Chains A and B, each alone.
Chain A
Amino acid sequence: MIRIQARTEPSSIMKVASPLIAIVLTLIFGCILFSALNKNPFEALHVLLIAPLSDMYNIGEMLVKMSPLLFCAVGLSLCYRANMWNIGAEGQLLAGALGGSAVALLFIDSTSVFALPLTLIAGIISGMLWSAVPTYLKLRFNSNLILTTIMFNYIALYLLIWAVNGPLRDPDGYGFPESAMFSDSTTLPILLEGSRIHLGILFAVISAFVGWFILSKTHLGFQIRVFGADEPAAKYAGFSGKKLSWFVMLFSGALAGFAGVCEVTGPIGQLVPNVSPGYGYSAIIVAYLGRLHPLGAIVAAIFLAVLYMGGDLAQIQMGIPVAVVGMFQGVLLFFLLACDFFIRNRLTFNNQVTN
C-alpha cells in the first residue's frame, strides 16, 4: 500500500532535486506531446525554452516581460510570508498604471525633469492606496482579504476602462478608448539602444534586493518571518501583527503600482485598456515558484517570462497551437509544485504505520 507521510524534517536532497526532477518529467511529457502532434519534439522544446534567450533582442524582451512579474512577486512574497493573502497585485498594478498615466498626461507638453519622477511616484502611491483599503477593511472589520483584494482588482479594471473612455481619452484619437502617447519627458529611458530594456527593469531587480534585505537583514523582516511561521509565538513575543500587516500590504501595493506605471511609461508608452495580461495573477505563481524568497522570485520571474515568450515563438516558428502551448506550461507548473510536495512529504510502500 502506498501512503503519503509527512517528513519530520524537510528533505534537503529534495530541495535541490525537486526542480530538476520536475524539469526532466516535463521534458519527457513534452517529447510525447509534440511527437503526438507530428512536431519535432527537440525543436519544439528548443523554441519554447531556449529560443527566448537565444539573442540580445529576445533577452531584452524577456526582461521586459519579467519586470512586472518580478515587481509584483517580491511584494507578494513578503505578504504571504506574513500570512496576508493578498490576491490584489493585479488591481494594484492597474491602479498604478492609471494614477501614473493621469500625471503623465499633465506633462504631455512639458520637458520638465520632474515629470518622470512625479509620474512614477503617482503610480507607486496609487498602488499603495489600492492595497490600503482592503488592508484597513481586514484589520478594522476582519473582512476576508482574499475576497476584498480580488474585488478591488475588478474595481481597478473598470475604473481604468472608464478613464480611457472618458477623462484620459486621446482628444485627437477619433474616440478610440486609449490615451494620447506620452511625451518623452514621461517615458522611461532605454538602457540599451535598439532594445526595449527600460529603466523600470533595473528598478524591479533593485526591488527584489530591497525585499531580500528587509526580510533577511532587518528586525522587521525577522518579525515577518516569525509571524508567518508561528502567529501565537510572534504575539507572545510582543510583535504587532497590525503594524506588520500594514507594512507588507503597503510595500506590496507600492511595488505593484510601480510595475503598472513602468508598463505605461515604458514599453506601452500610453494608457490602454489592456495594460496587463494578468501579471498580478501570474505573479502569485512566480512568488510560489521562488519559494516566497525575493531573490528566488528573480529566477522564477525569468522562468515564467521565458515560458510566455516561448509560447508566442512556438506559434510563429512552428505553428504549434496556443492551446497546446498552454497545456505544456500548465504541466510544467504542475510538476514543479508536485515535486515540491515531496520536500515535506514522502511516499512509503508498506502497511506499517509510523508516526
Chain B
Amino acid sequence: MKKNFFEGIDLVLLLFTLAILTAGLLAIFSATYTSGTDYFSKQITFALFGILIMLVVSYIPPRIIARSSYYFYILALILLVLVLFFGKKISGSKSWFSLGGFGIQPSEFAKIATILALSNFLSGTDDGFRNVNKPVEFIKACAIVLLPVILIMRQPDMGTSLVFLSMILPVLFWVGLSPYVIFVIISPALVAFGAFLGMNYFMAALAIVALILLLFKRNIFLTAGILVMNFIIGFSVDTLYTKLQPYQQNRIKAVFDPATDPLGSGYNVIQSKVAIGSGGFTGKGFLQGTQTQLKFIPEQWTDFIYCMIGEEFGFIGSVVILILYMTIIFQLVNNSYLSKNRFLSVACIGFSSIIFFHLVINVGMTIGLMPVIGIPLPLMSYGISSLLSFMVMIGIGMSAYRYRNQY
C-alpha cells in the first residue's frame, strides 16, 4: 500500500475551498481597507492555520472520528451550558467565551459535534442505516439535534438555532425517510407562511398542499387529517398575529419586508441591495466600491461580506462565488454518495446542508430574498470560530473521499 502522499486528497474540495478563502480575504481586505488591517491579518493567520487543520483532519480514519463522536457531543453540550453562565454578552446574546482577546463560540463546535453524533447514531446498525421511518428512531434522531438547539436558544441565538434545525430533514432524507413524511413536516410551514401573507395566499397554499398530498396516493383519511391539521395551524397563525401588539407585528413584518423598518434591520438590506446592484456586470473594481469604502453598511466584513463582492466584482464575481459554493456542496454530496462508510456518508450530507443553509440565508439576505438573520457566509465572513469550524467540516468531507472504499 505504498501510495503517493497526495493520492487520496480530494482536489476539488481543496482547490475550491482555497479559492473561496482567497475571495473572502480579498473581500475583508477591501471592506476594512480604511479601518485598519487588524481584521485582515487576523483572518489570514487563521485561514492558514485552518488549511493545516483541514488537511490533518482529512487523514483521520473514520473509525476514530465515529468512536469519539458521542464524547464530542457531550463536551459540546457542557460548553453550551457553561457559556450561559460564563459567556460574554455581545449584542444581547451570550454566545461567546472570551479567551485572551479571542472570542470563542461553542455553538460552532457544537455544530460539528452534533452532526457527528447524529451520523454515528444513524449509521449504528450492521445492515444499513437505522430505519427512521419508525417513530422511535425518528424521535431519537431529532432529540440529538434538539438538545443543543434548546441551549442555543437560551443564549439567545436564533440564527444558529435555525442552522441546527436545517440539517435534520436533509440528513433524514438521506438515510431513507420517506418523502411523504418530509412533506407532511414541511407543509405546515408553507401554510403558515401563506396565512401570514393573507387570506388568498393561505387558501392557495392549502390547495397546493392538498394537491401534493393527493399525489402521494396515501390513505385518504390520513391525507384529510393532515390537511385539517394544516388548516388549523394556518388559521391560528392568523389569529395569533392579530392578537400581537402593533410593535410586535412590525418587528415580524420587518423580517420579511425591510422597507417597513428603514432605520433598523431594514437599513442594512436596503444598503446592501444598492451596493450589489450598483456593481453592474463587471463591478466597480477592487477597492473601488463606493458603498463598501464609505462603510455605508456597518461591519460588512462579517455578515454582509457578499455585498462587497457584488459591488466591486459585479454580476460575474457574484455568480462565480455562487458556483464555487455549489461545487463544494455538490462534491460533498457526491462524496457522501460514493462513501461506503455510512458514518461519513451521513456526516457529509449534514455538512453540505449546513453550508447550503448558511449560503442561502446569508446571500439571500444581502440580495433581499431572505429575512435578516445574522449568520455568516461560510469561509468568507470575518470570524475565527466560524472559519475554523467550516474548515474542519470540509476536512472531514475530504476524509470521506480518501476512505470512500473503507467500510
A binds B: no
B: residues with CB less than 8 A from A are none
A: residues with CB less than 8 A from B are none
